[in-house]
Each structure stands twice: as structure tokens, then as C-alpha cells.
Amino acid sequence: MRPYDIILKKRNGETLNKEEIEYMVMGYVNKDIPDYQMSAFLMAIFFKHLNNEERAILTEIMAKSGDMLDLSKIEGKKVDKHSTGGVGDKTTLVVAPIVASLGVPVAKMSGRALGHTGGTIDKLESIPGFKTSLTLDEFFENVNKYKIAVVGQTANLAPADKKIYALRDATATVDEVSLIASSIMSKKLAGGADAFVLDVKVGSGAFMKDIDSARELANAMVGIAKSHNKEAVAVLTNMDEPLGFFAGNSLEVLEAIETLKGNGDKKFVELCLTLSAWMCYLAGKDSYEKCYKLAYDSLNNGDALNKFKEFIIAQGGNPDVVQKPKDILPISNNFVEFKANKDGYISKINTEKVGVACNYLGAGRVKKEDKIDHSVGLEFLKKIGDKVSKGETIVKLYISENSDVESALNLLNDAYTIGDSDVQKLDIILDIV
Ligand code: URA
């Protein structure tokens, strides 16, 4: 076998077999295949795509290139939730305790912020004392005892994807559905869950800017899961505006706690209940409708809040954060405001720019080594469809001495469009695949 022949075969739009895909992927991981041939191979896939079977093979090979977690020490069916990334996406902080409170195990390995999107692990680290790294045995023990543990990724999951992703990033081959779906699902398969709920974001703050490409990605991911005999549901959700009222680490934990106390943004609550219901349904708890009702009850009768407190204690965090979040969380007291420059209605938001503005304040990372400032972030006082008067605050910026406030304000100015006429508010749930 020669890399040249495999590249040519894909370039000509032919279907590759398992040996050929494995030869390219593992050859690249083992440094037998150089960057330039792997780049050409990825570009051939970018233009000619992969069929369902090729996607499933690529996913499996990347998953098996590293550790394959065995979650069998955890009792019950394990359902993982994955979000393709957005701005203000703190759903895990609400969904995990809801689902765990209903007796369904949540064994979650989460990521950190990178690019314009945030990461659950950074958010949880705003809680003083909270430990995001546990040994595997501690992780299993916590899930068995409390039904919930959320940790950073320590296992060596899908190293082939890591290496190939870095090359895709440098060769303009990231945004191809087969490659994205295989990349995400290789890490999910290696993570060892039995089933997956995939929150596929759509819109200006998401990878997929329109519903058709999001649906294609969702179908590809669900198809890959099914071809590995794992159940999966994809929920297509709106990212044409930030999720909820806040973005930034401590601020999102504050919002999650308020949501668990019954004071959440309506659309954010709907998203959390929908994802929780699908997780419980896939875990075999009951019908989707009954699971939704159970999730609703848990959120409204305090069970989910109590579970959240138990979870914080189990991972070493200060439990007072639940009663007095504003006293315990590091939230900046310094702020500036982004105000409307005319009367009208918020008609459009470039949400990716909003995410980058949040990073300028120090809430995220440009490089992996960058340090996060947990105290800074954005509060969204006006969303799409809201009426504003000239001089009214649209976004409140929580800042610190290291924040680049001017760049953040300039970006917000670019990101928000104020139109003259009323526009419809956005639905949060767009489709289920
Ligand atoms: N996230 C991933 O993990 N991989 C991709 O290819 C795109 C987004």
C-alpha cells in the first residue's frame, strides 16, 4: 500500500476500505506518513467526503488510537451529553444534577474553553475548592455513590484525532461534516458511554451557521453512533444569540444556580429540560414525555439543587456557593456598559463576536496555556426581538485590570444590529434528529 494511491483513490471520489483508512491514520500517528501527504488526504476528503461506512471506520480507528474507557464499574446505563460549543453554554451545570437527581448516572468528562466558546471545567473551577481532577477510581466511586461526577479529561482519548485536528486547523480542512463528526464521535466512543445526547448548535455563534449543515452534522454523528451499536439523539439548538443571561465563568455558575432555584431564563430552562429528558429516556427511565415531566419536577421541587450541592461537596467545593453564590464566587465589582446608539429592536447578533469579546475581558483562552480570569464576563440585558432606547444598556461587561475593554466594546458594537422594526424572538429547540 502507498499513501499516494490512497490519496489518489479518494481524490477520484472512490470509497476507501478499512485497511486503507487505517494505513493513513495510524501511519500518520506513527510518523510514517508526513504532514504533506496527510494534508492532501484530508483535502481529498474535504472535497469528495466519506460515506457512512467510511465515517464509522475513521471514527473507530481514531477512537482506538488511545485509551478506551471502560465504565462498567458504574452501575446502570451511562448516557453522555455533548455540545458542539456555543456562547454562555452552561447546560451541563444544570442538566447533570437534574439527571443525577432522577437516579440516572452522569459520568462526565468535560473540556476547557478554547476559541470563542467556554468550557465546563473552567466554569466549575470558579467554585473555591472544587476539584476537577479525580482518579478513575474516585470518579467511578462518586458516580456510584452520588450518580454524578464531572471531571477534566485525563485519559489519553483519541490521540489520532488530536494530531489530525491540529493539521486540519492549519490546512483549512476543519469544516467538513465527515471529519467533524468522526472527530467528535471518536472522543465520545473512547469515553465509554452507552448512549449519547448531542446538542448541535446552529447559528452565528456555532460551528454550523445554518440549519441544513447542522442537520447534516447531526445525522452524521447519530449515524456513526448507531453503526457502533450505540443509541444517540441530536437536538438542534439555536446559537444565533448567547444562551441565557450570562457568559463568563463565575457568572455562568451563578446563572446555573439561579436556574436550579427556579429563576432561570425560559429558553435556557427549556433547553436543559429537553436535554435532561432525552438523557433519561436513553437511559431507559421512561417515555420521553414522562422523563420531561420528571426533569421539570426535579428542577422545581429542589431535588436538582440538592443534587448540585451534594456534587459540589463530593468534589471538594465550598457548598455555601449554593446559598450565597454572589458572596462565594469571584465576580468582578467593576463594570462598564455597552449601550444602544439608537432606538429600535435588537434584530441580529453575531454571537461568535460576543464570545470573542468575552475573551478580551479574560474569560477564555486564545492558546491552551492562557490563564482564565474567572471573575469577568458579560451580562446580556437585551436579546433578539427586545426593544431598546438610545442610551439603554444592552450588555454589562464585568471587567478586571487585565481586560481589553476597548476591543471588547468595539467587537460588541460590531456584533449587535439594531433594526427599526420588530423581529420575532428566536426558538431555542430547532429540531430533533
Ligand atoms: N470539535 C471537535 O472535537 N472536532 C471537530 O472537528 C470540530 C469540533
CATH code given to domain 3-48:
1.20.970.10
pLDDT band, very low/low/confident/very high, at 123 (cuts 50, 70, 90): very high
Dihedral angle of Cα 309, 314, 316, 322, to the nearest 10 degrees = 0
Residues of the chain with CATH 3.90.1170.30: 330-419
Unique residue bearing C-alpha cell 436538582 = 304
Average pLDDT of the residues in 62-71: 96
CA distance 109 to 86: 18
Amino acid code (one letter) for 354: V
Determine the pLDDT at residue 165.
92
Determine the pLDDT at residue 155.
79
For residue 5, indicate whether it is catalytic. no
pLDDT band, very low/low/confident/very high, at 118 (cuts 50, 70, 90): confident
Specify the residue with its C-alpha closest to ligand 1, atom 5. 180
| H-run or E-run covering 105 | none
Tens of pLDDT, residue by residue over 284-340, are 999 999 999 999 999 999 999 999 999 999 999 999 999 999 999 999 999 999 999
pLDDT at 369 over 80: no
Specify the residue with its C-alpha closest to ligand 1, atom 8. 180
pLDDT band, very low/low/confident/very high, at 154 (cuts 50, 70, 90): confident
Give exposure, 67-104, as e/b (b: 16+ Cβ within 10 Å): bebebeebebbbbbbbbbbbbbbbbbbbbbbbbbbbeb
Q: Determine whether the shortest distance from the Cβ of 184 to ligand 1 is under 6 A.
A: yes
Residues of the chain with CATH 3.40.1030.10: 79-323
Sheet holding 335-339, edge to edge: 246-247, 377-380, 393-398, 335-339
C-beta separation of 206 from 86 below 8 A:
yes
Complex prediction ipTM: 0.94
pLDDT at 229 over 80: yes
CA distance 180 to 411: 28
pLDDT band, very low/low/confident/very high, at 227 (cuts 50, 70, 90): very high
pLDDT at 206 over 90: yes
Q: Determine whether the shortest distance from the Cβ of 190 to ligand 1 is under 6 A.
A: no
Amino acid code (one letter) for 339: K
Domain 79-323 listed as CATH 3.40.1030.10: yes
pLDDT at 367 over 80: no
Q: What angle do CA 43, 238, 431 make, to 5 degrees?
A: 85
Q: Determine whether the shortest distance from the Cβ of 183 to ligand 1 is under 6 A.
A: yes
Q: Which of 82, 112, 147, 267 is catalytic?
A: 82
Determine the pLDDT at residue 135.
93
For residue 365, indicate whether it is catalytic. no
Average pLDDT of the residues in 94-110: 96
SS3 40: helix
CA distance 310 to 213: 40
| H-run or E-run covering 68 | none
CA distance 62 to 90: 28
CA distance 408 to 358: 7
Q: How far is CA 124 from CA 120, 191, 336, 363, 414, in A?
A: 6, 20, 25, 13, 30
CA distance 85 to 205: 8
CA-183 nearest atom, ligand 1: 4
C-beta separation of 337 from 150 below 8 A:
no
Determine the pLDDT at residue 277.
98
For residue 161, indicate whether it is catalytic. yes
Residues of the chain with CATH 1.20.970.10: 3-48
Determine the pLDDT at residue 217.
97
pLDDT at 360 over 80: yes
Phi, psi of 346 (to 5 degrees): -70, 115
SS3 151: strand
Question: What architecture is the 330-419 domain classified under in CATH?
Answer: Alpha-Beta Complex (3.90)
Q: Determine whether the shortest distance from the Cβ of 158 to ligand 1 is under 6 A.
A: no
If 0-12 CB within 10 Å is exposed, 13-18 middle and 19+ buried, where does residue 53 land? middle
Specify the residue with its C-alpha closest to ligand 1, atom 6. 180
Determine the pLDDT at residue 366.
72
Average pLDDT of the residues in 74-84: 95
